[in-house]
Structure 1
């Protein structure tokens, strides 16, 4: 297992971090996963008060581990009662300090304002040692992410950034300039459901595995500290940790394979490829046009239709965690057309995406 400096926190983190949202069946399973991860060299454990009994299970398991060798991160939402919630987490974790506290779901301008109002309370928990470092975790627009990174109290940032979604590339650059630790969240799942890649993607990535190749793309970037991995059972650590020591620059064969992936998208989509410039926004109907068309790109170029249905189905169901309306909300107003440098027939492509990815209607996940 390789380790990297977590920005200005000066912590040395394993390049893979254990996310605990999935290993929640019972305390025994949780302990088995945690022990297996630590034995494999993982020293950064991410939990949250919202992850069921994760904090309690972690607190129970810490008694059999060397707490001083582990880096613990827990999370709380913007607008939370910092003093009370931190004390509750400390009690559940059975520890007298938490290494990193992530302000989770800083997804809107209002959340940024709430975080700014929390700064006096956050400074207090830093000063009294209950918390060592403050960071942010965002699923929001790039502008919100950049705003979170710019807050002086922030020492690390948790981001969505993947080979198949590079919208947050400017955020990676700014975080590096500000010497922030960078934690990439959910690279296997939200990065493309790469535990179950379609055959077309596997063929394009051959001789490499799609999951491991895209992990390598991330790990080869020295600005990135660590990637989350979220096993439900210990055996699920085996696959991703094959590249836990592979943090060097990409080999020529890896570069050629990634170039082949990009060329395949250009070839298949031709004049219908959305290049993710975001110039089409804002949409009067609040359609997240670039994200809708990104999912279309992936479905057509790599047969990632199952992933596309999974993500597309979250529109209008996940509130600020995944904002935007579905493509069928387009009224063909034409407002976006003159702004598109590719001159895409955006209304037609939005409707096409909806027909391809709409799937079955399901209940709303979260309120706003």
Structure 2
């Protein structure tokens, strides 16, 4: 296991972190998973108020013992941004009680996703003052934020100067947030990549087409190497549901050097294959088509179409597409069938794509029955 400095927190985190969102089957399973993670060198455990019984189960595991003392672990929890200082203060105490610890190494505001959330973060006599108080009294040592928001929202949150780290969606198949990595480096923020395997492409169960294209590497391995080769990134989340699910991802835990010529060649071939497969219909993710009058998140819809066609990532495309209209500010936007063919986006597309037709095609390819969030 390799370790990296987590920005200005000056904590040193293992390059893989254990996210406990999926360890919800029982306290015993979470305890076993944490013990295995620690034995394999993971020193960062992450949970959230919103993850069902995760805080409670993790607290029981820490109480029973996980193989190292408390001071050797970095524990992060998350809570939603709120206007009420009293609520923030009470929630932190409740998290500490459930976790059975005296302090949090890191607290992340969970889901700074909208302009309103950004206002709450900066509100005096509200969230901002409550967070300053818990930092001052030692209940929390370092403050960051987790986000599913737009690039502009993330950059705005960093610009407030209130945070020491960011929990960020970024992977080989989703590089929209590349500028955040540069901004984080400039301001010495730690970067925690969240869900790089699941939301990064369902890479634990890749389609055969993608497996073949990534040879001699697995898609999961190649994505992890893409991320770990970037020194601006501190740590990657592993959302294991049990101890056994830690084994495969941690096979790359000591491989954090620059990409090899062979790895670079495979990544180049993936890019070439995508261009050839999509031809003139490829959306290159410039985002110039936004905003859409019908509130369709056009680039993301077309990204899912790109992946489904080029790499047969149909299951991933369906999984993400059905979140539109069902996940609120966590995954905003309407489905492609809401396009009114107003043409507002057409003159702004540098590729001259027939966006209404591509949205219609995307909807037909990706529509499925509706789902729900894991902890909903």
The equivalences for 1:296-315 within 5 A come to: 296-315=305-324
| 1:77 matches 2:80 | yes
Specify the alignment match of 2:107 in structure 1.
Answer: 101
| 1:86 matches 2:92 | yes
Q: Structure 1, residues 250-289: CA drift from partner, whole Å, max 9, x if none?
A: 0000000000001100011111100000000111101100
| 1:221 matches 2:227 | no
Specify the alignment match of 2:9 in structure 1.
Answer: 9
The equivalences for 1:270-309 within 5 A come to: 270-309=279-318
Q: Structure 1, residues 151-173: CA drift from partner, whole Å, max 9, x if none?
A: 21200000000100111111111
The gaps in structure 1 that reach 5 residues or longer are none
More displaced 10-residue stretch of structure 1: 62-71 or 184-193: 62-71
1:363 Cα deviation after fit: 5.8
Specify the alignment match of 2:56 in structure 1.
Answer: 56
Q: Structure 1, residues 112-153: CA drift from partner, whole Å, max 9, x if none?
A: 111112111111100110000000000011111111111212
Mapped partners of 1:336, 1:100: distance in 2: 42
Q: Structure 1, residues 183-220: CA drift from partner, whole Å, max 9, x if none?
A: 00000000000001000000100010000111000000
Mapped partners of 1:290, 1:188: distance in 2: 21
Per the alignment, in what secondary structure is the counterpart of residue 24 of structure 1? coil
Residue 247 of structure 2, aligned match among 218, 226, 238: 238
What is the TM-score of this pair, normalised by structure 1? 0.98
| 1:192 matches 2:201 | yes
Mapped partners of 1:92, 1:235: distance in 2: 26
Q: CA RMSD in A?
A: 1.1
Mapped partners of 1:207, 1:264: distance in 2: 16
| 1:21 matches 2:39 | no
The equivalences for 1:1-368 within 5 A come to: 1-63=1-63, 64=65, 65-79=68-82, 81-117=87-123, 118-360=127-369, 362=370
What is the TM-score of this pair, normalised by structure 2? 0.95
1:47 Cα deviation after fit: 0.7
1:354 Cα deviation after fit: 0.5
Asked if 2 retains the 8 angstrom alpha-carbon contact of 1:99 and 1:132, the reply is yes
Asked if 2 retains the 8 angstrom alpha-carbon contact of 1:55 and 1:93, the reply is yes
Asked if 2 retains the 8 angstrom alpha-carbon contact of 1:135 and 1:154, the reply is yes
